[in-house]
Structure 1
């Protein structure tokens, strides 16, 4: 129920709303006034959660017709939700950054981690059996810490973690948690989780069913890569954000004007659904093309990354030595990296470099274990051992085997 208060400027009307957060189903009770825009509310929520990176978040709500909407941050809140009662917003990631593990703001990384956990459980983030077992194992390590035989007996996975969760997958995840993730702290777990998730094909994808001028139905994917169309499960068109001049909406028609001069037209089933797609597409276009929109606060700068590669010289491509079991690596043909040697540390960021190297090496070790088994992995580790200079890093790495 709205309430009125008397202030120095007169009588003001205050409207209550509930915001469903990502962490453990928490709800934040908020209020807004008649003159508040969406940006006021999202800024307040981010401040309450100590989130520095505010541009990637949004508030989603559902109207009386079960149609999803994004709250327009540049417009007044009240007209957008006037037919919604009670008002429930869902705090969700609207724009997925391409490399979330590079964020330095831990609270932002935590919220992205929670969003991706939700995506895995709902099936929005899809992966194969090998990857799904590793995702579940990482979540177990994050939730319970190191495996404890007194506390973790039998199948101790009591809740749904991932779509199409199977008993065999749970047993494999428990084995990974028991033998190969010991001593990893929550921050390292989040880094590994985010690094894996952002390389999946469906990372950050919000699929929409649309039609073309010939009334042919197909799926329109929107994420950091651009706007991608899939016809009968096959990729048919990819429009990069940098190739888009502007996006317009007319009723249920979405028009994408290209820098080359052409126009791609998509038709949605309804006007509200088209508006939902339009909001998402425009926010992505602004974020990935407007200068200064992607804040450098909280990101690893290019200079720091170049310095990391230059000083450590540890990221070299592994030789292609056979079939790899990970479905995502087969599907995307992504490169794998290993440890070659460690040079002396002269950079003032040496502690960060060591941590980054350890997290990456552990991720490679786990993927190699899944792909080739223990004996092949042991041979590879011994080969690395002969090349390492610093015994400190080897001692840390050997603890997981």
Structure 2
């Protein structure tokens, strides 16, 4: 009995050993098949071309105010401020707080100075002139025939310098586009006025252009489509002095920044809270309907930026307990205010930068001297 049991135990032990060996063979077989599959996968991956890695930089093109293209390469993770800084460096522009770049990468004036004569540098005024000429040409800054001819004549003086019949010929004004559907009558009037300018350097011409342009009623007004509470179509205009209301191209109401206590938006509605006058006891609120939520938020943002830039002496004042903005997002204007910009401009200490005036096809370099302007044709 004992031997059988032992034999059985032996057989059982052998059976156990055999099972273990079978397991090892199975493990070895599966491991070998795994290696073969991995080798096959590796070979297939080697044969299959890898997708190209996404570039870490972006090639960006920015349209400048003279319609020239500025190209640069930036890391795709940088903020838009770095692109704006590169554009300003390219233009040699120090008084850059009045300018900005749109999402479609166009370099524009963002804040129109109420008194352009207070700008420190000629180059800043020149780019402001280019922006205003675009505004006029695209219908954002309407003006009469007489004003259009006068502004066009100063633009000719700025770009070409003093009239020289041998250099300019008889129909040179057609290259200066001041209006859509520009007429020969307008061009003749522009040239007639241009012929009378003597001892006026391009920088002086830019200043005369701006002194006349700033008097136009729509100078520096950023328009937004809206409806009043009765559903009547209106336009809301934001500018350096406040919020304007237009109906049928006529201004019907005006809310100066000192009278506006708060601006807010909710859904597609935009609200302003007005400070009570001497004869009123309570604050009043006025609402407008915008086309959609994005339009209401955009108008609110433009109001916050303009109020902060033109009304406050520093951006730190925008975070005081009595906030100008009530509802809406957490957006805050973080740039310098006009007061800070003027202070910084007064500290600019560099020679007047030379720059090319080339917004029309008849390319020249026009510079100022003590008594008269010098015009040097550029090589083609």
Larger radius of gyration: 2
Instruction: Tell me if structure 2 keeps the 8 A contact 1:94–1:280.
Output: no
1:189 is aligned to 2:205: yes
Alpha-carbon displacement from aligned partner over 1:180-213 (angstroms, at most 9, x marks no partner):
1122111111111111111111111122220122
> How far apart in 1 are the matches of 2:175 and 2:344?
33
Determine the structure 1 residue equivalent to 2:183: 166
Instruction: Tell me if structure 2 keeps the 8 A contact 1:18–1:27.
Output: yes
Instruction: Tell me if structure 1 keeps the 8 A contact 2:99–2:110.
Output: yes
> How far apart in 2 are the matches of 1:152 and 1:89?
34
Determine the structure 2 residue equivalent to 1:72: none
Distance 1:128 1:258, change over 3 A: same
Instruction: Tell me if structure 1 keeps the 8 A contact 2:173–2:188.
Output: no
> How far apart in 2 are the matches of 1:2 and 1:154?
58
1:47 is aligned to 2:69: no
Q: 3-state SS of the aligned residue for 1:201? A: coil
Q: 3-state SS of the aligned residue for 2:157? A: helix
Distance 1:15 1:28, change over 3 A: closer
Please identify, of 36-45 and 169-178, the stretch whose mean Cα deviation from structure 2 is larger: 36-45
The Cα shift of 1:296 comes to 1.9
> How far apart in 2 are the matches of 1:156 and 1:126?
24
> How far apart in 2 are the matches of 1:273 and 1:2?
38
Determine the structure 1 residue equivalent to 2:171: 155
> How far apart in 2 are the matches of 1:299 and 1:195?
20
- Aligned partner (choices 284, 289, 307) of residue 267 of structure 1: 289
1:177 is aligned to 2:219: no
Distance 1:256 1:104, change over 3 A: same
> How far apart in 1 are the matches of 2:73 and 2:308?
28
> How far apart in 2 are the matches of 1:30 and 1:282?
32
Instruction: Tell me if structure 2 keeps the 8 A contact 1:102–1:300.
Output: no
- Aligned partner (choices 126, 129, 139) of residue 110 of structure 1: 126
> How far apart in 2 are the matches of 1:197 and 1:150?
31
1:27 is aligned to 2:70: yes
Q: TM-score, normalised by structure 2?
A: 0.64
Distance 1:24 1:16, change over 3 A: closer
Q: TM-score, normalised by structure 1?
A: 0.61
Alpha-carbon displacement from aligned partner over 1:230-275 (angstroms, at most 9, x marks no partner):
1233322101112222322223222223344322222111223333
Instruction: Tell me if structure 1 keeps the 8 A contact 2:95–2:345.
Output: no
Question: Which 5+ residue runs of structure 1 have no aligned equivalent?
Answer: 5-12, 62-87, 302-392, 397-401
Q: 3-state SS of the aligned residue for 2:246? A: strand
Q: 3-state SS of the aligned residue for 1:157? A: helix
Alpha-carbon displacement from aligned partner over 1:14-48 (angstroms, at most 9, x marks no partner):
344322111342323342442x3333332332233
Alpha-carbon displacement from aligned partner over 1:41-77 (angstroms, at most 9, x marks no partner):
323322332322232222213xxxxxxxxxxxxxxxx
Determine the structure 2 residue equivalent to 1:308: none
Instruction: Tell me if structure 1 keeps the 8 A contact 2:58–2:76.
Output: yes
Distance 1:299 1:191, change over 3 A: farther
Determine the structure 1 residue equivalent to 2:305: 283
1:243 is aligned to 2:236: no
> How far apart in 1 are the matches of 2:61 and 2:302?
22
> How far apart in 1 are the matches of 2:210 and 2:254?
24
The Cα shift of 1:103 comes to 0.6
